[in-house]
Amino acid sequence: ECFKCDYISGPVRQVLGSSGHILGVVSPPVDPPKRKYWAGDVGDCRDPDLWLDQQEEQAGSWWPDWISWLDDKCGKKRPALKLGNTKYKPICDAPGEYVVEP
Contact (Cβ atoms closer than 8 angstroms) between residue 72 and residue 55: no
Which of these, 7, 1, 77, 14, lies nearest to 41 by C-alpha position?
14
Residue 75's pLDDT is what?
Answer: 87
Using one digit for the tens of pLDDT, what is the confidence trace for 87-101?
999 888 877 787 777
Residue 17 has pLDDT above 70, yes or no: yes
Residue 95's pLDDT is what?
Answer: 78
Contact (Cβ atoms closer than 8 angstroms) between residue 54 and residue 45: yes
Residue 42 has pLDDT above 90, yes or no: no
Residue 92's pLDDT is what?
Answer: 84
For the chain, give the mean pLDDT: 85
pLDDT bracket for residue 6 (50, 70, 90): low
Q: CA dihedral in degrees (56, 60, 62, 64; nearest 10)?
A: -110
